[in-house]
Amino acid sequence: MTTHALSIGSALDPSGTGASQITDLWWVMFWLSLIPIVIVGAIVVAILLRRRRDSPGATHPPAETSVSERSDRLIILLGGVVLPILLLIPVAVVAVGTASERVTADDETFEIGVTGHQFWWDLEYPSPGSNRLDDGETFRTANEIHIPAGRPVEFRLESEDVNHSLWVPELDGKTDLIPGRTNRLAIQADSPGVYQGLCAEFCGLGHAKMRFKVIAHEEEEFEEWLERESAPADLEVDAESLAEFGDSCAVCHDVRGLFEERTFRSSFGPDLTHFASRRTLGADIISNTPQGLARWIADPQGVKPGNRMPHLGLEGDELNLMVELLGRLE
């Protein structure tokens, strides 16, 4: 199986504005926390050395061990009051500063709906010409969040079932997706690239395999992607194969433009309109190759235990037909 290895970027090597701010804060906390560690470490070492010197067999009498009450109080005052104040005030100042400088969104910021499902990510985009989801037509895709680089975008975060948490360590901090609630995250990738994301809140058996990618494009390339992705599927296929495809895949998955006579649009599983253009499948678990896809359809639970894809029992020609049709959904 062509398993897609998780190569997650370090939060300490940021590529996004939010992550850079968090990294700066982290380093301030790291260096300040070294101060008490060094002081306490020095005291422990001093006590150990003194113990050894005073141990039985030593030639001189035990050293004076009772410290006067006055110096006891002084140690408590310095170590318990003065030092914490000196350390925590700078941390508080920098933390509040970081929070106030967060990437922000306004009514013009490009908005993307992200809905968490066990165990994949449903994405909703405004159709070309609009920036906001409520402004008009939208379209759906899944598991690969395409964004423009160099400017903030806003994620509208919701959940269909249980709590999830969206995290792209290189770009920003985590934000929860909570049923019945809408959270928002303004996020910015400073340069084009592919950034690994994952679910950071235990949400069930498939949690560890609930990943996604953020793909940041140059402006022009992003507009092209938007244009392509918003278009309906372009699949020339005979009626019999189409019916088979409808019965096998399109019961749970929407394929825009293929089943015009249908009165429902299924969003139980990821939208497959441009499935073949995605890099990975199973929420970023295996590479999107014909072999990977055949394995996924034939044995979804073997690839990703706990996922909601049913075992369809397809094999031989039937399986090949599905793999072939899906592979043409460019």
Rule CB under 6 A: which residues touch ligand CUA? 116, 119, 164, 199, 201-203, 207, 210
Nearest approach, Cβ of 283 to ligand CUA (angstroms)? 9
Query: Residue 262 and residue 212: Cα distance in Å, rounded?
Result: 30
Entry field: residues in the chain: 330
What the block records as the tokens of 194 is 């592919």
Query: Residue 116 and residue 177: Cα distance in Å, rounded?
Result: 7
Q: How far is CA 80 from CA 34, 51, 73, 88, 273, in A?
A: 16, 25, 10, 12, 62
Query: Residue 262 and residue 161: Cα distance in Å, rounded?
Result: 26
Q: Taking the CB of residue 303, how many other CB atoms lie within 10 A of it?
A: 20
| First-residue to last-residue Cα distance in the chain | 23
Give whichever of 207 and 304 is closer to ligand CUA, judged by the CB atom.
207
Give whichever of 102 and 174 is closer to ligand CUA, judged by the CB atom.
174
Going by C-alpha positions, the residue among 288, 294, 295, 260 that lies closest to residue 274 is 288
Q: What distance separates the 2 farthest-apart alpha carbons in the chain? A: 101
Nearest approach, Cβ of 247 to ligand CUA (angstroms)? 29
Q: How far is CA 74 from CA 34, 38, 45, 87, in A?
A: 22, 19, 20, 18
Nearest approach, Cβ of 117 to ligand CUA (angstroms)? 8
Give whichever of 168 and 323 is closer to ligand CUA, judged by the CB atom.
168
Give whichever of 4 and 207 is closer to ligand CUA, judged by the CB atom.
207
Nearest approach, Cβ of 273 to ligand CUA (angstroms)? 23
Give whichever of 211 and 217 is closer to ligand CUA, judged by the CB atom.
211
Give whichever of 147 and 210 is closer to ligand CUA, judged by the CB atom.
210
Nearest approach, Cβ of 120 to ligand CUA (angstroms)? 9
Give whichever of 115 and 288 is closer to ligand CUA, judged by the CB atom.
115
**Residue 270 and residue 307 in contact, taking contact as beta carbons nearer than 8 Å:** no
Beta strand spans in 129-220 (E):
138-142, 144-148, 153-159, 164-167, 175-177, 183-187, 193-199, 211-217
Nearest approach, Cβ of 195 to ligand CUA (angstroms)? 18
Nearest approach, Cβ of 201 to ligand CUA (angstroms)? 5
Nearest approach, Cβ of 282 to ligand CUA (angstroms)? 14
Nearest approach, Cβ of 328 to ligand CUA (angstroms)? 31
DSSP class of 58: -
Q: Which stretch of DSSP H or E encloses residue 280?
A: strand 280-281
Give whichever of 30 and 202 is closer to ligand CUA, judged by the CB atom.
202
What the block records as the tokens of 210 is 């609930």
Give whichever of 165 and 248 is closer to ligand CUA, judged by the CB atom.
165
